[in-house]
Amino acid sequence: MAESIYTQLANQTALTPVDGKDFRHPLPEGLFPTDKQFESKEELLAWAEKNDYTYPLIQKGLQKAIIEVRAVFKSCKKDETWTEDIGLKNIDDMVWKIVDRPSSGQTDEQKAMSILGKMSPEEIAEMLKKLGK
């Protein structure tokens, strides 16, 4: 399951699947803001300016955005046959959006089951042992 950018920035780690197995690894030290900085326009801009990252980050973002435009251009609904007009409409409908912090809307039981589903039997046993169960 993909983690939100907020979770990754809060932990300064990423979960990356390689050959069917998930690996948690650190983000490169100093190259990413905290989740709090990411959530605030002012703090994010201050962080980028302080670290002299504004220009390269805008370049990188625009480079990635062009890749996204190309993917959106060639996409269509399953029941449609792609045409250039559909592709052009798709890219005309694109807008820049702020990445809001996600709200899960899950019950505590659903959250717990989600967490347990990511744990190995050994990790569950260890957790239960620590809780005295």
Could you read off the pLDDT of 64-109 as tens digits, one per residue? 999 999 999 999 999 999 999 999 999 999 998 888 888 766 666 7
Residue 9, burial from CB neighbour count under 10 angstroms (0-12, 13-18, 19+): buried
Q: What SS3 class is residue 77?
A: coil
**pLDDT tens digit sequence for 46-61:** 999 999 999 999 999 9
Specify the pLDDT at position 11. 95
Q: What is the CA radius of gyration of the chain?
A: 20
Q: What SS3 class is residue 91?
A: helix
Between CA 17 and CA 13 the distance in angstroms is 13
Beta bridge partners of 16: 23
Could you tell me the pTM of the whole model? 0.66
Between CA 117 and CA 61 the distance in angstroms is 34
Domain spans in the chain, listed from the N-terminal domain onward = 1-46, 53-102, 107-133
pLDDT at 1 over 60: no
